[in-house]
Amino acid sequence: MLTIGSLGKKTGTKVQTVRYYEQIGLMPEPGRTEGGQRRYGDAEVDRLSFIRHARQLGFPLEAIRELLDLSDNPDRSCHEADSIARRQLKQVELRMDRLKALRTELKRMIHECSGGNTADCKVLEVLRDHSECLTDHDEIGA
Amino acid sequence: MLTIGSLGKKTGTKVQTVRYYEQIGLMPEPGRTEGGQRRYGDAEVDRLSFIRHARQLGFPLEAIRELLDLSDNPDRSCHEADSIARRQLKQVELRMDRLKALRTELKRMIHECSGGNTADCKVLEVLRDHSECLTDHDEIGA
DNA sequence: CTTGAACCTCTAGCAGCTAGAACATTTAGA
DNA sequence: TCTAAATGTTCTAGCTGCTAGAGGTTCAAG
């Protein structure tokens, strides 16, 4: 039986985060000691590892909720899990594309820095002038 | 003289966002009509364009605040602006590296989907088993 | 002068945690 | 057995960068 602290250490999760996952129903309510402290078993270690691993892959918590749900019902179709993963891959590729465009423009900005005072600073100039800009008026590369 | 709505349209910014920028002091308090509505001039269009452009490049609002500050004081060194931009470029490259690793693992996951039921779903299996994982216990690819 | 679009302020919400206050429990050493 | 430190508890509020909604006012066209 593990305390919340050792569970956290085992899975690379902060204590607060574990409690947060419990609060939003991603982790089950665990057993408690007489004094009211949480105690965890192997199943919880596995579940939390699963969650953290998925988070590291960028899955949003709602997607993880679905994946856990699929995992709890072994008779449901694998395709559902597959399509969640594919959706996630699309997101990742979209973000990569945006970041690539940003990097290009940032490099251009920096390359032209003359080293004088801000009056003729290329960095500021590029930010001021939107006309040569490659990025569109869309979302932000987050 | 522009209303907040036309300022928004000109710069690709939502009305609420303009007011938010004013609230946090990124945009100045504009003049008002007798009835209390905001009216903007060219200077504000420029300033807001600058902000939006920088946002599209992923600069956090605090960095933008610094950049605007530099822009307002033309005698200060260009190197400060340059180093802010370089910092931002580093961030972008860091994120790209992380996304690349994520993409690799996601692709691996998806490739192995057998199409049966979730009991032997590779996607879920990969998430369950952390041992082959390329990503470390660090931050999340946001 | 009326109408309807655009404006106003204020509050609360989103993701996904993180931090702090103020207190209780557990555990190891003396 | 007692005590002190480490770890646990709940609760509330904060972070970034907006976004949405309620409930009301102003403006400009016809």
The tokens describing A97, both together, are: 């594309």
Domain boundaries, chain B: 1-59, 95-142
One-character DSSP codes across A89-123: HHHHHHHHHHHHHHHHHHHHHHHT--SSBGGG-HH
- Give the span between the Cα atoms of A102 and A126, in whole angstroms: 13
Output the CA–CA distances (angstroms, integers) from residue A125 to A114, A130, B59, B61, in the order listed: 12, 9, 15, 18
Predicted pLDDT at B138: 39
The pLDDT assigned to A33 comes to 96
CA B7 from chain centre, in angstroms, equals: 21
Residues B100-114 have a mean pLDDT of: 79
Distance, Å, A140 CA → D26 C1': 34
pLDDT exceeds cutoff 90 at A108: no
CB contact under 8 Å between B96 and A99, yes or no, is yes
Task: Give the model confidence (pLDDT) of B58-96 as tens digits.
Answer: 889 999 998 998 888 877 778 888 888 898 888 888 888
Partners of B31 in the β-ladder: B39
* C1' of C15 to CA of B49 (Å): 27
Cα-only R_g, chain A: 23
Which of B46, B95, B115 shows the shortest C-beta gap to A78? Answer: B115
Helices (H), B12-137: 15-23, 42-56, 61-72, 78-111, 122-128
pLDDT over 70 percentage in chain A = 86
What architecture is the A1-59 domain classified under in CATH? Orthogonal Bundle (1.10)
Q: What integer pLDDT is reported at residue B115 of this predicted model? A: 64
| Mean pLDDT calculated for residue range A44-52 | 95
ipTM value of the model? 0.75
3-state secondary structure of A51: helix
- Furthest-apart CA pair in chain A: how many Å? 70
Q: Which of B38, B60, B50 has its CA nearest to residue B11?
A: B50
